[in-house]
Amino acid sequence: MEEIDKDKEQEENQSLPGDEEIKKITPRIHPIGAAFIGLFGGFFLYQVIGGTLTAAVFGFDLDNAPINSLRLMTIAGQILFILVPALLFTQFFYKDVTEIIRFNKPNWIELLLFVIGIFTLTPLLQSYLYIQNFFIELLADKFYFIKDLKELVDSFNKLIEKTYGNLIKSDSIPEGILVVIVIALIPAICEEVMFRGYIQRSFEFKLKPVLAAFISAVFFGLYHFNIYGTIPLIALGFYFGFAAYTTNSIFVPMLLHFINNFTAVMLYFIVGEDELLSTNASGDFQLGSTVTIFFIFLALFAGIIILIKYYSKRRQSAFG
C-alpha cells in the first residue's frame, strides 16, 4: 500500500512546463467565466460585428465583391475580432500575457513529433469523413426525416463552400501567396491565441488539462459552422490543445494549424474544388479500402502519441 501511495504522489508531483507558473497567477474573475467571455465575446465580435461590417461594405452579394478586398477584410476581421480581444482579455483578467498564452520557445524534438502527428492525423480524419458521409447517405435513403435534414444541411454547406471557394481561388503566384496568408497563416495565429491560449488556459485553472483541451476543442469545432466536419474539427482542436499543454508553447499548435490549412490549400490547387470541398462519398468510393486506410493511419497516429508522451515524460524526469 505504501508503494502505491508513493507512486500516486510521484504522479501528482510530476507536472508539465507551465503548471507551477500558472499557480502563481491570480485571475481577476473566475477563470471559467473568463473563458466563456472569450468564447461568446469572440463569437459576437467576429461573426456578428464582423459579418455586419462585411455586409455594410460589400453588400449581401459576396459573389460580385472584389475578392482581394474581401480577403483583406477577412484578415482584418481575424486580427481585430479574434487576436486582439484574446490578448486584451488575457491582459485584463490575468495580467501575464506571456504565461497565459504560452509565448514560449518549444522543444524541437517535441515539435518534430507533433508535426509528424499532424501528417498522420489529417488523412485519418479525411478517411473518417468519407466513412461518416457514406453512412449518412445510406440513412438518408432509408429515412425521410434524415433525408430532409440532410438536404437542409447540404444547402447551408453549399453557401459556406461557395464563400470558401471564392476566397481560395487563385490565378497567379502573388494571389496564391495571399490565399495562403488568408486561409492558413492568419487563422493559425489568431485562432490559436484565442482557443489554445486564452480560452484553454482559462479552463486549466479549474479543470484537468485533458478536459480543458476537450472543451476548448468542442467550441473550436462548433465555431467553424462546418456541420459535416464538426467531429474532425473537434479532433484537430483537441490535438492542438494537447500540443499546447504538452509543450507549453503556443507556437506548436500554431504551426500544426498552419500545416493543416496549408495542406488544404495545396490540395485545392492540385485536385480542384469539386474533390476538396465535396462532402459526398459517392462515385468510386470503396468503403472497405477507406476503412482499411482509416485504421492504418489510426495505428500510426496512436504510435506517434505514445512517442510524444514517452519523450515528454522522460524530458520532465530529466529536468524536474
Q: How many CB atoms lie within 10 A of CB 105?
A: 10
Alpha-helical regions (H) of the chain: 2-13, 19-23, 31-43, 50-58, 67-78, 84-93, 97-101, 108-142, 144-168, 173-180, 186-192, 200-204, 209-223, 230-247, 251-271, 273-277, 287-319
Q: What are phi and psi of 201, to 5 degrees?
A: -65, -35
State the cell numbers at 108: 524541437
Query: Exposed e or buried b for every residue in 115-146, given b needs 16+ CB within 10 A?
Result: ebbbbbbbbbbbbbbbbbbbebbeebeeeeee
Give, as one character, the DSSP assignment of residue 182: I
d(Cα 26, Cα 246) in Å, to the nearest integer? 22
Residue 280: strand, helix, or coil: coil
Per-residue pLDDT of the chain (320 residues; tens, 9 = 90+): 444 444 444 444 455 666 766 767 889 999 999 999 999 988 888 888 888 888 788 776 666 778 888 899 999 999 999 999 999 999 999 999 999 999 999 999 999 999 999 999 999 999 999 999 999 999 999 999 999 999 998 888 877 777 777 788 888 889 999 999 999 999 999 999 999 999 999 999 999 999 999 999 999 999 988 889 999 999 999 999 999 999 999 999 999 999 999 998 988 888 765 545 454 555 456 888 999 999 999 999 999 999 999 998 887 776 54
d(Cα 318, Cα 307) in Å, to the nearest integer? 16
Q: Evaluate the CA torsion angle 186, 189, 190, 196 in order and state its sign.
A: positive
Q: How many CB atoms lie within 10 A of CB 268?
A: 20
Query: Exposed e or buried b for every residue in 66-80, given b needs 16+ CB within 10 A?
Result: ebeebbebbbebbeb
Q: Evaluate the CA torsion angle 252, 115, 302, 218 in order and state its sign.
A: positive
Summarize pLDDT for 129-139 with one digit per residue, the tens. Answer: 999 999 999 99
